[in-house]
Chains A and B, each alone.
Chain A
Amino acid sequence: MNKVTILEDWCKGCGLCVRACPKAVLAISTTHLNKKGYYPAEVANPEACIACAACARTCPDTAIEIEK
């Protein structure tokens, strides 16, 4: 299975990864703050990931790693 990892404490919750993902794998947390005080992105739908790396390409904070 493809695996997307969010480095939570690097994330600023900008949501560009959510916008870029063609399979709606990611979502911005609504309940949980990171160390910086942002609501970070989280993997809401891991099975749908196709490892296209669109999220990682657009992440301004290099907070996403992808394996397959």
Chain B
Amino acid sequence: MTVVFKKTPVLRDVPLHYCPGCGHGIVHRMVSEVIEELGIQDKCAGVAPVGCAVFAYNYFDVDMYEAAHGRAPAVATGFKRVHPDHYIFTYQGDGDLASIGTAEIVHAAHRGEKITTIFINNAIYGMTGGQMAPTTLVGQKTTTSPLGRDKDHCGEPIRMAEMLATISGSAFIARCALNSTPNLIKTKAAIKKAFETQIARKGFSMVEILSPCPTNWGKSPAEAMDWIADAMIPYYPLGTFKEV
């Protein structure tokens, strides 16, 4: 018999701590598979964020940093400038990248740092208990917006992929989702493209991934996947926003 699917060795042999149905595990696996397929495991490092994925350094079998909240692009910048022949990725959630770390990500992209960012957008603060994030949809109920996000009070959710695509230093910016098999295949292809952009030294690359948080959305894992299609994708359109 031939093996059709087996866990990549770039993902360590330990069970993940995430909630049932969480998208982080899916993206961890995809990033690991891409590192294996590109043959860059020995020349690659990652930066873990603050948030649910803070323990990512326990899961990827590459050298890993842990950055202060939101500062992963700054740490990755330092690594890449000291080791220009190595590869670095940051793995950040929406609280990390779109809230406290907005300055770092915008300026890393603006400088055209040759780094890859994996951005998990689940429209909520997961680790701290389901508070409203900058990416929370209008009308979405969270523990700090129990009546739903009010547009007049909090504004509309921020679209990071579109924003970073307008910056001259960015080379590959895409948004994908985890809600169906075709979208899973596209997500992995986009992650691979982002790493290839870095290998070709074209500039900053980021993949934004719409990911489920069943626990804090108050939904079953299957309902959460359906909510990505019904509520998130209409506001956060999928596609490649920039490719040079």
Binding site for B on A (CB under 8 A): 2-3, 9-10, 12-16, 19-20, 38, 51, 53-54, 56-62, 64-68
Interface of chain B residues 186 through 244 with chain A (CB within 8 A): 214, 220-222, 225
Report A18 CB to chain B, min CB distance, Å.
Answer: 8
Interface of B is mostly: mixed
Let me know if A53 and B23 touch, CB within 8 A: no
Q: A13-B20, A68-B1 are in contact. Are A57 and B184 (CB under 8 A)?
A: yes
B159 within 8 A of A: no
Let me know if A20 and B1 touch, CB within 8 A: no
B11 within 8 A of A: yes
The chain A residue with its CB closest to the CB of B19 is A12
B15 in complex: contacting residue of A3, A20, A61, CB < 8 Å: A61
Interface of chain B residues 1 through 49 with chain A (CB within 8 A): 1-7, 11, 15-16, 18-26, 29
When distances are taken between beta carbons in the complex, the residues of chain A under 8 Å from B29 are 62
Report A28 CB to chain B, min CB distance, Å.
Answer: 11
Q: How far, in whole Å, are A68 and B4 apart by their CA atoms in the complex?
A: 7
The chain A residue with its CB closest to the CB of B221 is A14
Total number of B residues with any Cβ neighbor in A under 8 Å: 29
Binding site for A on B (CB under 8 A): 1-7, 11, 15-16, 18-26, 29, 178, 181, 184-185, 214, 220-222, 225
Let me know if B181 and A20 touch, CB within 8 A: yes
Let me know if B11 and A67 touch, CB within 8 A: no
Let me know if B3 and A66 touch, CB within 8 A: yes
Q: How far, in whole Å, are A1 and B138 apart by their CA atoms in the complex?
A: 49
Let me know if B25 and A62 touch, CB within 8 A: yes
When distances are taken between beta carbons in the complex, the residues of chain B under 8 Å from A53 are 4-5
Let me know if A60 and B3 touch, CB within 8 A: no
Report A38 CB to chain B, min CB distance, Å.
Answer: 7
User: Could you write out 8 A-B pairs with CB less than 8 Å apart?
Assistant: A12-B19, A14-B20, A15-B21, A16-B225, A58-B26, A58-B184, A60-B18, A66-B6
Let me know if A65 and B6 touch, CB within 8 A: yes
